[in-house]
Amino acid sequence: MEFKTIGIIGAGTMGIGIAADLLFHRMNCILVDITTAALERAKAEIIRIIRFAPLANPSLPKLNVEEAISKITFTTNIEDVYNAEFIIENVPEKWEMKEAVYRELTKVCKPEVNFAVNTSCISVTKVASITDRPDKVIGIHFMNPSYLKNCVEAIKGYHTSEACINNAKALLDQMKKEVILVNDLPGFVTNRISHLFMNEAAFVVQDDVATPAQVDEIFTKCYGHKMGPLETADLIGLDTVVNSLDILYESYQDPKFRCCPLLRKMVDANLLGRKTGKGFYNY
Ligand SMILES: NC(=O)c1ccc[n+]([C@@H]2O[C@H](COP(=O)([O-])OP(=O)(O)OC[C@H]3O[C@@H](n4cnc5c(N)ncnc54)[C@H](O)[C@@H]3O)[C@@H](O)[C@H]2O)c1
């Protein structure tokens, strides 16, 4: 099966990158958010991406901007995803928000449609349990920004069927992404490990052991990582990092996931990283 139209719920950091990625791979998308302001921001950012991303990464096709953007339906009405062949959900990492969206999706999507939960930490099995189709729910943890990353972590929930896994793999194959399939426990592989790094890096700054730049340089220059933990946290969004740590802490009841107070304070001050122009660094 060749996918033509994908429903994207949530036009924030991840929804924007995935929508642009679908355009680069010649698919249409229905992009849903709760406000027109969010959709306008998303449209402007997607235009910027389709103009400039091919300059940074020549493997991406150069698209005609008007033609490409016309393949996205921007809408605040979730019922508009009725014609989508597959759903990728990207609302914030808050259980109550995901729960509300899946109750709606269950009502508005065709029964055969599969749902991909793009989550950092929330259990895919728990999300599936509130839908009418737990066998058709899979986790796809896209990397950020999706259009520059050619691998995803996919998560098999307790009831996820082989048919659903194959369906998701077919879509990801169309998006030219390799899939690493793992089992479902909060944080999976990626965030169960990476959030310990980011959280402890924030503690190191809070305790005045080193500046953010020094922490990141130790990872990039000494360890040879592409990015340090604090620039990664800024890229993800510090609100998303805090929400994820809270979910890990609650899920495992393990103090190693207790969120650094400095991270919480920065979120209260709206220093969310790249998306608000200031976090550990200025943008
Ligand atoms: N940021 C990352 O690097 C990253 C990476 C992988 C996975 N994730 C996961 O992806 C999900 C989205 O993260 P994000 O960083 O894009 O968040 P974000 O806060 O940047 O964007 C979320 C968007 O969802 C919208 N939204 C809220 N409620 C909605 C609803 N009922 N219907 C439609 N839209 C709604 C918001 O208005 C916002 O635009 C989270 O679960 C996060 O953990 C994030």
Query: Model confidence over 228-237: pLDDT tens digits?
Result: 999 999 999 9
**237 Cα: distance to centroid of ligand 1 (angstroms):** 10
- The ligand 1 atom nearest the CA atom of 117: 41
Tell me the average pLDDT of the chain. Answer: 97
The whole-number average pLDDT for the span 250-254 is 96
Four-point Cα dihedral 246, 247, 253, 255, nearest 10? -40
| Domain shared by 211 and 84, yes or no | no
Residue 56 has pLDDT above 90, yes or no: no
Task: Assess whether pLDDT exceeds 90 at residue 224.
Answer: yes
- Place 1 in a pLDDT band, splitting at 50, 70 and 90: confident
The sign one gets for the Cα dihedral 174, 39, 44, 263 is negative
Of 183, 206, 239, which residue sits at a domain end?
A: 183
| Residue 278 in domain | no
User: What's the pLDDT band for 204 if we cut at 50, 70, 90?
Assistant: very high
Q: What is the pLDDT of residue 130?
A: 95
Residue nearest to atom 15 of ligand 1 (CA): 13
Please give the average per-residue pLDDT across 1-23, as a whole number: 97
Best of 240, 242, 272 for a ligand 1 pocket test (most atoms within 8 Å of beta carbon): 240
Considering the domain boundaries, does residue 281 fall inside one?
no
Give 255's DSSP letter. G
Pocket flag, ligand 1, residue 9 (CB < 6 Å): yes
Domain count, the chain: 2
Residue 280 pLDDT class (50, 70, 90 cuts): very high
Q: Which atom of ligand 1 is nearest to the CA of 38?
A: 39
Asked if residue 242 has pLDDT above 90, the reply is yes
Q: Which two tokens stand for residue 243?
A: 């929400």
What is the CA(11)–ligand 1 centre distance, in A?
7
Query: Whole domain around residue 223: which residue ranges?
Result: 192-268
Nearest by Cα to 67 from 50, 54, 44 = 50
The pairing of strands 151-156 and 5-9 is unpaired
Of the candidates 125, 126, 174, the one whose C-alpha atom is nearest the C-alpha of residue 150 is: 174
Q: Do 100 and 176 have their domain in common? A: yes
Mean pLDDT for 188-195 is 97
User: Same domain, yes or no, for 260 and 207?
Assistant: yes
Residues 137 and 213 in one domain: no
CATH number at residue 118: 3.40.50.720
Instruction: From 31, 94, 119, 120, give the residue whose CB has the most ligand 1 atoms within 8 Å, as the site to mutate.
Output: 120
- Domain identity same for 259 and 150: no
What is the 207 CA–ligand 1 centroid distance (Å)? 30
Ligand 1 neighbour 262 (Cβ under 6 A): no
Q: Look up the CATH number of the domain holding residue 235.
A: 1.10.1040.10
Q: With b meaning 16 or more CB within 10 Å and e meaning fewer, what string describes 248-266?
A: bbebeeeeebebbebbbeb
Atom 3 (ligand 1) nearest CA: 236
32 lines ligand 1 (CB under 6 A): yes
Indicate yes or no: pTM above 0.75: yes
Residue nearest to atom 28 of ligand 1 (CA): 91
Is the dihedral angle over the CA atoms 201, 205, 209, 210 positive or is it negative?
positive
Same domain, 33 and 132: yes
The mean per-residue pLDDT over the stretch 130-144 comes to 97
Segment 151-155 shows an average pLDDT of: 98
Model confidence at 147, pLDDT cuts 50, 70, 90, reads: very high
Tell me, what amino acid is at 17?
A: G
Report the percent of the chain where pLDDT is more than 90: 98
> Is the pLDDT reported for residue 35 higher than 90?
yes
Across 182-200, average pLDDT: 97
pLDDT of residue 8: 98
Ligand 1, atom 2: nearest CA belongs to which residue?
A: 236
The pLDDT of 132-139, averaged and rounded, is 98
